[in-house]
Chain A
Amino acid sequence: MAKLELRGVEKRFGEATVCDGIDLDVGEGEMVCLIGASGAGKSTLLRCINLLEPIEDGAIYLDGTDISVPGLDPQTVRSRIGMVFQSYNLFPHMTALENAMLAPRRVRGVTRAAIQPEVEELFARFGLADRMGNYPDQLSGGQQQRVAIVRALAMRPEVMLFDEITSALDPQLVGEVLDVLLMLKDQGMTMVLATHEMGFARQAADKVCFLKDGRIIEEGAPDAIFDTPKMDETKAFLARALK
């Protein structure tokens, strides 16, 4: 049984079908990269997994339990699945440390004192020990994105979703964020990424899925997708993306 299973996931916004019957298995500790043009449905799929968007049809299983049952309390699910966004979305009125401690304090009900050592340890591990007291607007984009990752990790999630987390960064800051992902992979985190970083996907992913018009057109090991794509759509996309 895979850690995360998607079966026939369908998501519509009005007339537009954004996810059109998506099947996907993500094994424990696996890193799956979703690639494809903007608008292919990558981000929406991630938002559906985190129950930020209700799905029309299909099912999503976490550890074999259907988490997409209508009416299910989304809070418990979300606290097990962390998500990081393209635009960081840090809370601007809180320091980096407060950003990371808010959810554990509110959702798990632990005190500031009880959670602080653990969170500080996270900041230290990702090279942010001297940035904990800063407000988001005092941090570089790369630092903000790493704080956002720490904030999600502070909830001790079992799965992490990353929605084009390097797309808003200056090229020279992309590396520091991708390094964090490699660290998490080493620690055995289960991860799903929507990404435009083809080089990274090829180097680090266990599985790559190419999406187009809300469907997974082709999936497989990175080498297979990048070196010997079978579908014409995949070939056309890669020709443009790797130019």
Chain B
Amino acid sequence: MTKQDAAGMTRRQLYEAQQRKRSIRIAATSTALVIAAIVVLVPLTPGWEKVKRSFFNWDTLVDTFPKLLDAFLINIMIFAWSAPAIAVLGLLIALARDAKSPALFPLRIFGAAFTDVFRGVPVILTVYLIGFGIPGLGLPRPWNSPYIWGSLALILTYSAYVAEIFRSGIDSVHHSQRSAALSLGLSERQVMRDVVLPQAVRNVVPSQMNMLIALQKDVSLLSFIGPVEIFRQAGVFKSLLANFTPYVGAAIIFLIVTVPATRYADYLMARQMRERR
């Protein structure tokens, strides 16, 4: 027989409710303590007043924010044309590396070399080498634009990573799916296109979301070769106003975009884990 109290709860439910209340109390107390420590201790540091003025200046933030937003449109633009190119190139490289036909052997070698090289070099170096090197060939306008070659640097680097993720997705499709498809008379190509790839792509959506988020941030690296995107614009304001607040403003703008995207990627990841159990 189960004993119930006045609220109609069983013994265990009562115990669990108590435990829940207890952990909420502890979490609230420790959070309050940490915040209090920061609020009380940080202003006690000798440089706080100076840092407050140069990093958290409200007026500067309000004045520069609209211009920063404008500059962020350039980030979005570069992101918008790079991302699809990365998806396509990444998939092609993944397929090239899995190619079985001997005629495609050079493609396999190329795919492997490509991923090794572009995963092995810091992004900023690739941006420099391609972004300065190729326009240095003396190409006529508009082919000397740092937008083109900077974007290409990002596309090449990210395609290498994205290709590896696609490949892990292809490997994650159980070989019994291949057997079943082959047993129906499908060709290797049809098996890949109709059976393996659709499942592989679905399996790696959360990982690829994370790559998109990283790309969104790395677009700022192009500032080093010319384009006045948000990071560069913040730098211009810093020099003009002798104040670092525009950098904080830029960080806020990035967070407005990346935090929801990160949350969404995590949600997709968690859902996938649940589905696989």
Contact = CB atoms under 8 A, between A and B. Distances in A.
Interface of A: 47, 50, 52, 74-76, 78-79, 81-83, 85, 87, 89-93, 102-103, 106-107, 148, 151-152, 155
Contacts of A87: 176
Contacts, number: 61
Given A87-B176, A93-B199, A93-B202, A107 B185 contact: yes
A91 B185 contact: no
Nearest to B183: A83
A76 B179 CA distance: 15
Contact of A107 (B176, B184, B198): B184
A89 B179 contact: yes
Residue of A50, A74, A89, A93 most packed against chain B (CB within 10 A): A89
A87 B187 CA distance: 22
Contacts of A50: 183
Interface in B149-196: 176-177, 179-187, 190, 194-195
A102 B184 contact: yes
Nearest to A46: B183
Contact of A85 (B180, B187, B190, B202): B180
Contact of B182 (A52, A76, A92, A151): A52
8 contacts: A75-B185, A76-B185, A82-B184, A91-B181, A91-B194, A93-B202, A107-B185, A155-B185
A148 B182 CA distance: 14
Contacts of B179: 47, 52, 85, 89
A83 B187 CA distance: 16
Contact of B177 (A52, A89, A102, A106): A89
A107 B182 CA distance: 11
A103 B198 contact: no
Interface of B is mostly: helix
Contact of A78 (B177, B185, B194, B198): B185
Contacts of A89: 176-177, 179-180
A106 B199 contact: no
Contacts of A93: 198-199, 202
Contact of B183 (A76, A82, A102): A82
- Top 10 closest pairs, chain A to chain B, by CB: A79-B185, A89-B180, A103-B184, A83-B183, A107-B185, A78-B185, A89-B176, A93-B198, A106-B190, A75-B185
Contact of B184 (A47, A76, A92, A152): A152
A82 B202 CA distance: 28
Nearest to A103: B184
A75 B181 CA distance: 11
A116 to B, nearest CB: 17
B275 to A, nearest CB: 9
A103 B176 contact: no
Contacts of A75: 185-187
Interface in B195-247: 195, 198-199, 202
